[in-house]
Structure 1
Amino acid sequence: MESFLDQHLEEMLQFIEKLVSIDSGSYCKEGIDKIGKLLEMSYKQLGFNVIVDEQEEFGNHLIIEHKDAIDPNIIILAHMDTVFPEGTAMERPFRIEGNRAYGPGVIDMKASHASVLYAIKALIYQGFEGHKNVRIVLNSDEEIGSPTSRGIIEREAKGRKYALVMEPARKDGSLVSARRGKGNYTLIVEGKAAHSGIEPEKGRSAIEELAHKIIQLHELSDHENGISVNVGLIEGGSSANTVSDHAEAQIDVRIKEIDQVVFLEERLEKICSSSDVAGTKISLEGEMNRPPMEKNKKTRALLRIIQDVGDEIGVEIEDTATGGGSDASFTSSLDVATIDGLGPVGGNAHSDKEYLEIPSLVERTFLLATLIERLTRK
């Protein structure tokens, strides 16, 4: 399979260029659906059936399976959206410099789409059966928390033995075996406006109340145990000489273990249950929207299989934990053996310096194809 992929490297890069040239930010439905159509056509040409889960606001999701598949035990997850606004593809077109390719979304995760597609092509070319043992779910809203695709992912993952998630490998080539869970909350404070020079005593400062709450929220962080609470965005007030009657904060919460959810939610509710500044009112909105991906027994066993495959083909496999979120959390929470970071190697995702390490494209696609076949034979 490696020689097949070597021979098709240029074709893979051309395919990535097509994808990168289409704006597909999470709110760019038209662009995501163009990518979806391109991928749909590519898989249908290989004998796959494609179910399009149509969405009104976001891009459509795709569920892909070979026409001869019978209850596959592998689910492959990849997302079609990026973080970049419309027009970025024209401002920063795909380009190659040395051994790196650049462009919006090139590593997160348009190169991964080429990797999955050509792994399937390599399996078919080699006469193996692994391509009949995968269900591929491509979603359109991962970068904003998968609000419309989470249910689809969880539904399609139930009953599977293995989940292979195609987020890019880390810069050093490591796979991802654990991720922290994530929650997003909004704290809203209502006060009473007054002129700060004429009658400040009649005001009730929403900003002052918010300041008290920010300190209390940050004190919940316990980095040694993987808990972080960060107020990353605040706004409020109308002018410098007015006691503020409104203020709010956006709160990012990260956890290492699912058992930490109850503790944190109880503490958040307690902090927001009363005011430090008399006369102000507080409300808290939001939820934990991604459970943690824990490195459990099943994931460790899958990692060992991948490392064995790596040894077989000459690729050293290391793993790491990360604080960032992905759809791997959903499959892991369903007790499906999950490994993330199975895409090609690259770096600087979500920035104008995002890049793909071109030599890793064949290497990681070969690893993926060989892994699929190994899991099929188990």
Structure 2
Amino acid sequence: MNDYLEKQQENMLYLLEQLVNIDSGTSDKAGVDRIGALMATLYRALGLKVNVFPEADYGNHLVVRASQQHKPTILIITHMDTVFEKGTAKLRPFLVKDNRAYGPGVIDMKASLVAVYFAMKALKEIKSKAFYDVEILLTSDEEIGSVTSKSLIESHAKDKKFALVMEPARKNGAIVSARRGKAHYTLEVFGKAAHSGIEPEKGRSAIEELAHKIIQLHDITDEEKGIHVNVGIIEGGSSVNTISDHASAEIDVRFRKQEQADQIEQKIEDITSHADIEGTKVRLEGEINRPPMEKTAKTESLLRIIRKVGDELHIKITDTETGGGSDASFTAAIGIPTVDGLGPVGGNAHREDEYLEIDSFLPRTILLAEVIKQLHRKINQTKKPQS
């Protein structure tokens, strides 16, 4: 299998170039669907069945598997959308320079789309039964919190033994064994406008009230426990000499353990349940939109298999926790052994200088294919004989 994939390196880069040069920002439904149509054609050519789950506002989701007759036990999760605006691919097309590939979405996660496809292609080439034990999700809205794909992910994960999530490996090559949970809130404050020079006593400043709330919200942060609250965007006021009658804030919350979620929610609700400035009113909207991906004994068992495969391929596998969110949180939360960051190595995702380390492209594809084989073998070894 390794020899086969080594001969596919040029084809891998060619497919990656095609994908990167298609705009597929989450809001660009047509672009995301172009990615989906291309990948669907490739998978169908391998003899796999592609089910399309249509969406009205975002790209369609794809579920790829051998056939309805097979019941795959390994779930692989990828996403087709990026954070970049339409037209970015034309401004910054795919580029290879100094053993790095650049372009919008090159590492998050178009290189992973290529890696998964060629891993499956290799498994079929060697006639591995593991080829039939895989189900692949290609979703269209991961970058905005998987608003339409969450239920699809959960429904397809519930009968699986393992979930492999193809976000990129960290810059140092580490894979991801834990992610913090995430919540997003919008806080609005309503006051009373007045001229700040002529009749300030008649006004009630929404901005002043918001300032009190920001300090209190930031005080929830506890770095030692992995809790972080950040007011990242604030708006308010109409002119410098007008006491503001409206102000708002966007709040990002991260936390390490699910048990912390209720405590954090209660603290935020307590803070926003009343106004500190008389005559102002406060309104809070939002919720926790990603549970944490906690490192469990099941995770460690899966990591041992991946490390063993890595050792055999002379790839040192380390793991880490990250504060960023991904679809791995959904599969981990329902108890499926999950590992993330199994994509190629790269960095600077969501930035103009986003890159793929080309030297990692083939080894990480081989790693994925071998991990699939080993998981398939383990599943079949632990199946109880039927009486």
TM-score, length-scaled by structure 1: 0.99
Equivalent residue for 1:8? 8
In the alignment, the residues of structure 2 paired with residue 67 and residue 182 of structure 1 have an alpha-carbon distance, to the nearest angstrom, of: 35
Structure 1 residues 133, 69: CA separation in 2 closer, same or farther (over 3 Å shift)?
Answer: farther
What SS does the corresponding residue of 1:214 show, helix, strand or coil? helix
* 1:215 partner letter: I
In the alignment, the residues of structure 1 paired with residue 69 and residue 26 of structure 2 have an alpha-carbon distance, to the nearest angstrom, of: 31
Contact map agreement 1:69 1:133 (CA 8 A) in 2:
no
Equivalent residue for 1:71? 71
In the alignment, the residues of structure 1 paired with residue 354 and residue 269 of structure 2 have an alpha-carbon distance, to the nearest angstrom, of: 39
In the alignment, the residues of structure 1 paired with residue 375 and residue 334 of structure 2 have an alpha-carbon distance, to the nearest angstrom, of: 19
Matched, 1:143 2:126: no
Equivalent residue for 1:346? 346
In the alignment, the residues of structure 2 paired with residue 110 and residue 368 of structure 1 have an alpha-carbon distance, to the nearest angstrom, of: 15
Equivalent residue for 1:250? 250
Equivalent residue for 2:225? 225
* 2:290 partner letter: R
In the alignment, the residues of structure 2 paired with residue 36 and residue 284 of structure 1 have an alpha-carbon distance, to the nearest angstrom, of: 37
TM-superposed CA distance for 1:69, in Å, is: 5.4
Give a deviation string over 1:116-155, Cα, whole Å, max 9, x none: 0000011111111111001111100000000000000001
In the alignment, the residues of structure 2 paired with residue 233 and residue 68 of structure 1 have an alpha-carbon distance, to the nearest angstrom, of: 47
Alignment root-mean-square deviation, CA: 0.7
Matched, 1:36 2:36: yes
TM-superposed CA distance for 1:311, in Å, is: 1.1
Structure 2, unmatched stretches of 5+, are: 379-387
Give a deviation string over 1:305-324, Cα, whole Å, max 9, x none: 10011111211100010000
In the alignment, the residues of structure 1 paired with residue 67 and residue 254 of structure 2 have an alpha-carbon distance, to the nearest angstrom, of: 41
TM-superposed CA distance for 1:98, in Å, is: 2.4
Equivalent residue for 2:24? 24
Equivalent residue for 1:92? 92
* 2:144 partner letter: I
Matched, 1:127 2:127: yes
TM-superposed CA distance for 1:279, in Å, is: 0.6
In the alignment, the residues of structure 1 paired with residue 362 and residue 201 of structure 2 have an alpha-carbon distance, to the nearest angstrom, of: 69
Matched, 1:178 2:170: no
* 1:113 partner letter: L
Give a deviation string over 1:152-194, Cα, whole Å, max 9, x none: 0001000211000000000111000000000000000000101
Contact map agreement 1:68 1:132 (CA 8 A) in 2:
no
* 1:356 partner letter: L
Equivalent residue for 1:166? 166
In the alignment, the residues of structure 2 paired with residue 18 and residue 334 of structure 1 have an alpha-carbon distance, to the nearest angstrom, of: 35
* 1:12 partner letter: M
TM-score, length-scaled by structure 2: 0.97
Equivalent residue for 1:55? 55
* 1:253 partner letter: V
Identity %: 59
Q: Which stretches of structure 1, 4 residues or longer, exceed 4 Å deviation after superposition?
A: none
In the alignment, the residues of structure 1 paired with residue 271 and residue 355 of structure 2 have an alpha-carbon distance, to the nearest angstrom, of: 43
Structure 1 residues 358, 273: CA separation in 2 closer, same or farther (over 3 Å shift)?
Answer: same
In the alignment, the residues of structure 2 paired with residue 252 and residue 334 of structure 1 have an alpha-carbon distance, to the nearest angstrom, of: 24
Structure 1, unmatched stretches of 5+, are: none
Give a deviation string over 1:26-56, Cα, whole Å, max 9, x none: 1000000000000000000001111111001
In the alignment, the residues of structure 1 paired with residue 299 and residue 327 of structure 2 have an alpha-carbon distance, to the nearest angstrom, of: 15
Equivalences for 1:233-312 in 2 at 5 Å?
233-312=233-312
Equivalent residue for 2:381? none
In the alignment, the residues of structure 2 paired with residue 39 and residue 130 of structure 1 have an alpha-carbon distance, to the nearest angstrom, of: 20
Matched, 1:374 2:374: yes
Equivalent residue for 1:111? 111
Contact map agreement 1:80 1:138 (CA 8 A) in 2:
yes
In the alignment, the residues of structure 2 paired with residue 146 and residue 249 of structure 1 have an alpha-carbon distance, to the nearest angstrom, of: 23
In the alignment, the residues of structure 2 paired with residue 209 and residue 40 of structure 1 have an alpha-carbon distance, to the nearest angstrom, of: 52
What SS does the corresponding residue of 1:310 show, helix, strand or coil? helix
Equivalent residue for 1:213? 213
What SS does the corresponding residue of 1:371 show, helix, strand or coil? helix
In the alignment, the residues of structure 1 paired with residue 182 and residue 168 of structure 2 have an alpha-carbon distance, to the nearest angstrom, of: 19
In the alignment, the residues of structure 1 paired with residue 229 and residue 313 of structure 2 have an alpha-carbon distance, to the nearest angstrom, of: 42
